[in-house]
Each structure stands twice: as C-alpha cells, then as structure tokens.
Structure 1
C-alpha cells in the first residue's frame, strides 16, 4: 500500500486505503475452490454410496468410514489452536524431526451407526498393511460384538493414500482380512476432490483436532489420552490404541497375486467400487 501511495502521489498509505474502500477494494486472501477436472461420474458415485449405505444399515450390516489423519511429531512442539490455561506451554521454536521422540499417525475406523470409533496410532510407515490392521483391530475389539450376525462389511474410503483404489497391497490385505473374519468386504471410494464427504473427516478427525488444539503432544500417552477424551454432544465414543509394529514399505504385489483375489468389481465406477469375498481355501 505504501508503494501505491507513492506512485499516486499520496503520502499516506492509510488515505489510499480509505479511498479504495468505496470502490470495492479490500485486503483479501486466496480462496481454495478450484478442484481441477471433476470425476465424470462424481455425483453418481456419491449417490450410489449413500444408497448402498442405506441398504447395509437396513439389513443390520456394519458400515465403517476409514482414513489416516495427518502424522504428528511427538515432543515439545507447538500444536495449532489455543486453550484456557493459567500459563502458556513452552515449546520448541523449530519443528525439527530430529528433536521428536517419534512421528505418530492416527488411523481412524468410524462406525456412524454406533457413533463409535477406533483410532490406531501407528509409529511406523502409513502403509496399506497398517490400514487393514486398524480395521482388523476394530472388528476384533468393537465390530464383532456389535454385529454378531454380520456377513458383509461396507468400507467408505478416500480415493488416494494408503487405502486408495490404486495400491495393490490394500486389496491383498483386504483379501486376507476377509478370509480371517469370514465376511465379504465391499469398498466404495469417494472420487478425488470429494473426500470431505467421507464421514470420518467431520465426525471424528475434526473433533479430535478441536479437542487437542493448543495441547503439545509431548508423548504418545498424551496423544492417546487426548484422542480418548474427545467427546461431542452426540456422545461420540473413541477407543484409542498404540501400534508399534514396523510396517515395511515398497512391498510389490504381482499380477499373479492380484489374479488370485476373489474380487468382483461393480458396473458403476469399477475402479472405485468392488467386493472381496473370502476364498474357499481360507488363505490368499
């Protein structure tokens, strides 16, 4: 504004700002609204997911929403937000990973029907194996007791990341899960740019972020406690567990392994919608 005042021959930047205001000018930030070329069947896919969810819920079958939250440095680091306290927390000036105890990634499995979630906090790589292990923990600790007569599981997931529609390891691990628990597993991915409609984003992760706002995540116990302590007016219940397993990165799944999967794709958006059934042999 000062340089504009000089070019206009006005000595005061405040005066220039006051003159520009009636003309409709004001300080503005960039607005994120462009998403590129949307998926050609984006609306159809969204409607299909909602319709399929309704069918599963009417028949008493479990429906879960899954995703990995942003990884966090564990240690004396600033956490965005503020909270009421007598004294401000003293944290590191810089977020150097070398100063962290570790890096932790919460992977959430949210059951909208029960308004209940399991969050698996991993300290290793965020891989498809980690994602499916989190789903396995949910079934063993929460799902099996709540849905004793289930024979099918519906999973809502984003199109990318460790549980995206491209990673072969994701499908291979789901086949192993289906064989272990004896359930057919149907997966529906939200198209790129539509992940905000995944229920876990606004019903679980946003609530966790709000609860730990301004709290430095000094230890894994602190992170787990803040996740478990997250509540809402709708009585959200969260179970948080720690996963210190080391998950290998870069695992290659061959075309032969993919051909052995007992998988059937849907007609609508076959890459985004598919069902994996247990193998008769019980292993894959």
Structure 2
C-alpha cells in the first residue's frame, strides 16, 4: 500500500529498514515480499548503515503554521513587561503579588489580547535568556568599615601561629537538631515506594529526647574536626567545655610544644565577642592549660565565612541528609563517620552535662581577667593569659634593683595608631596649628 507513493530511493530505504528489523534472513524475506531483487534490498541496507544525507524537505521553505510571536509582534514586548523585576515593572501589574509561572503569564497575556500557551511562554523566556532561579544568599547586612581589615588581621595571626607550630582552630555551634522521627532534608537510596516514615509536623516532643546541640572545633592545619553534642543549653560554658575536651583528647597530643592557641569564632552566639561568660570561661581554660589563648572574631554579619562552616559542618549535613536523627547515638555516629576525599577526620562524643543560663558576669570580673586587648579592634581581638600581668609590681622591682625609673615617651604620642593619621599629615597639622597659636599669643 505504501510503495506506490514512494520514489525509488524511498522504497529502497524502506525495504532496507524492514530487512534490518527482521535480522538474519531479512534481506531475502523482504525481497520476496516486495518482489524485487535481493541486491536492491541489500543496497538499501548499505545506504542506511553508511549514514547518507537525509532525503531533504518535502514541505516548501517557510511552510507550516506560523509561530505565535511572528503572528503577534506585540507578544514579546508584553511578556517582557510582565517579567520585569518588581522595582522596574508595572506597579499595577496583576502578577506583582503572585508567582510568575508560565501558566499565570500565559493567562495574563491572554487577558491583554495575546492568545498564547504556557509552553510558548516558556520557549520565549528561554530565548530571552530567562531561567528559573532561586534567591542567592549574598547580602550580609550592613558591612562594618573594618570588615576586610579584620579578615586580613585574622589571616596574619593564623599564619603566624601555624608557622610557629601553634594550633589554630575554628569554632562554632551547628544548627540545633530535633531528635526523633522528624524529616531531615535531602534524599537517600532506598527500595522503591518505601520511604522512611516520619512525623508530619516538626513540633518538639517534650516527652521525647529533645534537641541536640553540636558544637564543633575544626583544626585548620591538621584538617580534623571535633564535635561535642550537647543536650542542655548552648552557653559559653558548654562551648569552652567542648574546647577543653578537644585539647585534652587531641590538642595537647598533636601540639606537645604548644604555648599558645588561636581561636577564630563568630561575632555572636555562645562564643560572641560581647559574651562576658565566654571570656571568663576561656580565662579559666588558659590557667588550666598554661596557654596564651588568642581569640579573633569574624566581623558582624560574616559568620558563613568561618572556616568550620564549609570545612566541617557542610560535610556533616551532607553525610546525614535524608536520614531521620532518631537518637543522640545516631547523631554522634553520623558525625563521626563523616569523611572527605581530602582526608577530613571527625571525632564526636555526647556531652550529657547541664549548663545553667542567666549567669551574671560583672564589670569587676571582666576587669580582673588577665586579658590583653589588641591594638587593632580590641573588642574583636584579645588574648587571655594563664597568669595576670602585674606591671605595677614589675616597675617596683625594677626600681628596687637600682634600675632607671620609667620615663615618659613623648614620641609615642605620634604613633599613627593613636593619632589616626600618618606622621607627615600630623606634622602638617601641627605646623598649621602652631601658626594660629602664635597669632593668638600676640
């Protein structure tokens, strides 16, 4: 029935395709059925297998139904006006306060007199360079003027410590996790149509195991992590207790000759620079370990730049994705099993201790701490010494030993860190003020 409508080449190719489908003996079978020679069928098979050029168009050029955008020149501008960002688009657009899906866009365009389907809208958007996109977390809030300078300061201190063989750690509290049959973001391989059954709502069960509070310590030089999983409150005492356990179990063995410890931490939370209990607990740790503990805080609003976030916490989240954290043991074991191709090793243990909240630390307690604030942003950068530095008694001992009395240093008053300007600018200012002073004297 089909052969009379085909030319010689089309018939030959059709017979060759049938012969290939039949397999062994297909050429002879097709030749008998079509009443042609086997050579003709074999030639059709060879042409198919040789990949010759297609037969070409049968329809005339520019034939077929016209595209909607060609029939309606105003369709594309109307669509672009609808998908303009809210701050630049039509303030009375019907799509200003709803999701701009292709179906809603098509309905809005049809309401304007442009008959178009959702699929056509999608094709036009892709032609114009649009794509489905989610929000990007890049806005960090109000940036501190010394943001970049603080990052450089942290890098310099970290480099100095690591070159000297001293430990440098990054610390932070990971997101608190609900313990129980709760849904955990992500997917994992399981038998088809057999998902893990979890609770429909993420309401904390007061009678259940409660929450887990992972506090992490990441050793930057050794690429190792230590996570203490708390069960009570995320307080400064809990944070320093985790650091203490890390030092006793790993730090003092990995750095037997260490005399100082550098900690990089966020600006807020249990280890924030405004948290007084954090400083008092670290002072006690400095006395116990005999280490000079230096803390450098990230500038406000830059917590995601802390190395522990993308060197440790992100890998932990990927390791337990899609798995309900049904117990504290599951959380501890999942954290401890976290590894990376770059050699990350993690230790985790449960901290069942209780940590009270609301502990007051007075101004006198802070003043009594053996704490030295650095010249650059002493609120963000400070060192806690194992013993207080009594400069008064040192001066008395110097005088009793017959040494010279300390003399004032007028030149120190020209220090740029004190004046806030370089010495040439200071000299120029002094010259200008000197002339004014002489005029006033006259």
Q: TM-score scaled by structure 2?
A: 0.61
**Corresponding position: 1:4 with 2:108:** yes
* Aligned 8 A contact 2:178 2:325 in 1: yes
* Cα gap change, 1:253 to 1:17, in 2 (>3 Å): same
> Paired residue for 2:351, among 243, 247, 257?
243
Per-residue CA deviation, residues 81-133 of structure 1 (Å, 9 max, x unaligned), is 11122242111111110264210010001112111121000011101111000
| Unaligned runs of at least 5 residues, structure 1 | none
* Aligned 8 A contact 2:369 2:388 in 1: no
What's the offset of the Cα at 1:251?
Answer: 1.2
SS in 1 for 2:382: strand
Aligned to 1:177: 285
**Corresponding position: 1:35 with 2:140:** yes
* Aligned 8 A contact 2:183 2:199 in 1: yes
Aligned to 1:253: 361
Aligned to 1:94: 201
* Cα gap change, 1:7 to 1:24, in 2 (>3 Å): farther
What's the offset of the Cα at 1:249?
Answer: 1.1
| Unaligned runs of at least 5 residues, structure 2 | 1-103, 390-442
> Paired residue for 1:219, among 327, 334, 339?
327
* Cα gap change, 1:61 to 1:25, in 2 (>3 Å): closer
Higher helix share goes to which structure?
2
* Cα gap change, 1:18 to 1:8, in 2 (>3 Å): farther
The higher radius of gyration belongs to 2
Looking at structure 1, the residues matched to 226 and 169 of structure 2 have their Cα atoms a distance apart, in angstroms, of 10
SS in 1 for 2:234: coil
Aligned positions, number: 281
SS in 2 for 1:275: strand
**Corresponding position: 1:49 with 2:157:** no
* Cα gap change, 1:192 to 1:280, in 2 (>3 Å): closer
CA RMSD, Structure 1 to Structure 2 (Å) = 1.8
RCO comparison, higher one (Cα < 8 Å, 6+): 1
